[in-house]
Amino acid sequence: MSDTQTGVTLPVLPLDDDVVLPGMVVPVDISDSEVRSAVDAAQAVEERAEDTPGVRSSSKPRVLIVPRVDGTYAAVGTVATVEQVGRTPDGEPAAVLRGVSRATVGSGTTGPGAALWVHVTVDDTQPPENGYPGRVQELAREYKGLLVTYLQKRNAWQVLDSVQKLDDPGALADSGGYSPFLNRDQKLQLLETFDVAERLTRLIEWTRAYLTELDVTEKINNDVQEGVDKQQREFLLRRQLEAIRSELNELNGKPGSEEDDYRDKVESADLPEHVREAALAEVDKLERAGDSSPESGWIRTWLDTILAMPWQERTVDAYDVTAARGVLDADHAGLEDVKERIVEYLAVRKRREERGLGVVGGRRSGAVLALVGPPGVGKTSLGESVARSMGRSFTRVALGGVRDEAEIRGHRRTYVGAQPGRIVRAIKEAGTMNPVVLLDEVDKVGSDFRGDPTAALLEVLDPAQNHTFRDHYLEVDLDLSDVVFLATANVVESIPDPLLDRMELVSLDGYTEDEKVTIGRDHLLPRQLERSGLEATEAEVTESALRRLATEYTREAGVRNLERSISRVLRKVAAGVALGDTELPVTVDAEALPDYLGRPKHTPESADRTALPGVATGLAVTGTGGDVLFVEASLADGESGASGLTITGQLGEVMQESAQIALSYLRSRGAELELPVADLKDRGIHLHVPAGAVPKDGPSAGITMTTALASLLSGRAARSEVGMTGEVSLTGRVLPVGGVKQKLLAAHRAGISTVLIPARNEPDLDDVPEDVRSQLTVHPVSDVREVLELALEPAEAQVPAVA
């Protein structure tokens, strides 16, 4: 091979949208000033200096075609001759250029005209006299074969003849510039590659990749065409079937076909693809089944249910977090834990939406919250507020007393009267696929021979599974992952552990006195005024009256009885107006409440109950919230022959064991505690917890029983202002218990000022409202000695022991 390079000076013709390789003949639009200047300069030089050496090698003007990328000229261009200058059929000026050889762009220089002139080094490499090496020839044959295959697929037979005549590997490689499947960058790489073998290698790789892609595309097109042909045949056959049925209906006197209506409804409905396929399959069954077949009725009912579901309906979440918090605060006082959790959920959804994260793996971030608390704290009404704050639809599913598993997952369609489960019906009633669904009273779900409904709820409430929830009636996947589930319960222990594990537990432990007054003033009173037919200007219940109602007339964790009391007062006012005994406007203050409701029912009684030794005040949690519990102890006369421990008050096994532990501890440590326990073996002990009609259980009364027994034996009365809770061990340790917040709220309602809690429960004080903590003196204790020292009156003020 002989390599020669020649230095010349040429005008630059820039190209922004294409690359010209040697051997290519291309038309160029010369309406652009830069392109026109280059052509004019080349023609001028040719005319003025035909015999100037180094300027031309032929009788035609020459230019340097240089690709330009983002305003930057390439390092290699193509020396081209101007074959012809004229106008296109549209009248636009144009020139036909023929690429001659590669040239390396050098430094700029001056020249005639407005064109840019540069020094270039022209590559005049000629084919070897003895031919190209065998490797280059092999590459050329391989590329020619690929190119022929491509041209045959395109039916470009004239171009195919021209390619077959190309024997020079270099010219064959440069013919790749005509390939429409090569982009500009690839053509630029060919231009900048001087080695023939390397150019052919790249072309082989690119052409083979394109042919592979072309084969895949053709296969896809063929498959699509086959599908279209099948659909067309099916369409024609169905039209013929419709025509035949129409004729039969006319003969039988029927106006139309119900099956056709269902097919039209399914095809026109906006259904997910998997649901559409299942519905059309059922329509096919309906068309094959006769009117007398019982199956046709089941299919029609199923299709009606499918078509009524809001498969593609979704409400847009209100991502105004501040406004959502305002809605929650306006509807409910307190309940900070729930409000913070909903605000967190909305904030995360908003951030994911802003960053375009969306849905991952088919799952959304639907929340599953369990609101656990005593009755009347607003669990059910909170669901409506949550839905309103999020801008979603709201629906409620009452689960109290549900015992059939099919109520949740639906019945099989083979049963008479089969229908979807309550979850599907709730989605249907809500009208969207992302409502707020309140599962009310989930702790009161029962189980019997028909199954366990709580087991059916496991999939519903599992965020990792409920995006493919399958109802037994529908038998198609239902996406529940964007539904916000709120479950309510009174007692967390009644919820099965696997179900509780799938929910985020939020405790609503009741309201403080100030919160009850706020709720009564802002929510309950306006509602009851409207129900009583009174205006706010006609009847006023003062804040002092509301406070007395909350403390002396009602003693509860929630506000349900408070609302009943307000309603009763307003009814009395309305009745008085109707009878002429009362004139409007009326102001009801604290002193006037006995006239409407009678004497108060709840007054502090700790001082009276603990006046004698042997009585201690404990704190407990019931199904209606926290409550005060009194434990009484007495000694039997030794001469009566009674011995041992007698326990009354409907106590459960755990509570009875706590009494045994308390007595065993005092017997073993009597000398240390200076208690007369030597003669207990001859005298019986009776331990009683009043309110005997109410079942009681749990270990948290352990220190209360110990204190009551110690008070009895020592003759030191328990302090009336002290309430306590905690489990006791045989070694005198005070162990942690649950429900500390509810118990402290109950102590505050009962007028107790000092509370003893286990030391390991001290972190639970963070959940107690600040206004309650500020009014209570809380002593964390870890040993029974500390309890007795704080709970019993001083020894010098003791009352003689009971004999």
Q: Are the C-beta atoms of 713 and 801 separated by less than 8 Å?
A: yes
Token match 């630059």: residue?
12
- The residue from 144, 516, 741, 743 that is catalytic is 743
The one-letter amino acid at 352:
R
In degrees rounded to 5, what are phi and psi of residue 631? Answer: -115, 125
- The residue from 700, 711, 714, 720 that is catalytic is 700
Through-space distance between the first and last CA atoms of the chain, rounded to whole angstroms? 130
Kindly report the CA angle at 68 between 113 and 174, in degrees rounded to 5?
Answer: 105
Residue 203 CB partners (closer than 8 Å, separation 6+)? 143, 173, 176, 190
Q: Are the C-beta atoms of 97 and 63 separated by less than 8 Å?
A: yes
CB atoms < 10 A from the CB of 728, how many? Answer: 27
CB atoms < 10 A from the CB of 547, how many? Answer: 17
Residue 376 marked in a binding site: yes
Residue 378 marked in a binding site: yes
796: nearest Cα among 694, 717, 706: 717
CA 565, distance to chain mean position in Å, is: 41
Residue 420 marked in a binding site: no
658: nearest Cα among 722, 723, 707: 707
681: nearest Cα among 697, 693, 670: 670
CA 598, distance to chain mean position in Å, is: 52
78: nearest Cα among 30, 143, 173, 14: 14
Residue 375 marked in a binding site: yes
Alpha-carbon Rg for the chain in angstroms? 46
Give the 3-state secondary structure percentages of the chain, helix then strand then coil, rounded to 5.
45, 20, 35
C-alpha–C-alpha distance, residues 457 and 397, integer Å:
12
C-alpha–C-alpha distance, residues 567 and 521, integer Å:
13
Q: What is the DSSP string of 408-474?
A: HH---TTSTT----HHHHHHHHHTSSS-EEEEETGGG---BTTB-HHHHHHHHT-TTTGGGEE-TTT
CB atoms < 10 A from the CB of 518, how many? Answer: 16
* 700 catalytic per annotation: yes
C-alpha–C-alpha distance, residues 744 and 763, integer Å:
13
Residue 373 marked in a binding site: yes
Q: Are the C-beta atoms of 430 and 422 separated by less than 8 Å?
A: no
Distances (CA, A) of 150 to 141, 188, 206, 226: 14, 21, 12, 24
Q: What is the DSSP string of 281-301?
A: HHHHHHHHS-TT-HHHHHHHH
* 743 catalytic per annotation: yes
Instruction: Give, to the nearest 10 degrees, the angle between helix 258-268 and helix 294-308.
Output: 30
Could you tell me which residues are annotated as the binding site for ATP?
Answer: 373-380
Active site residues: 700, 743
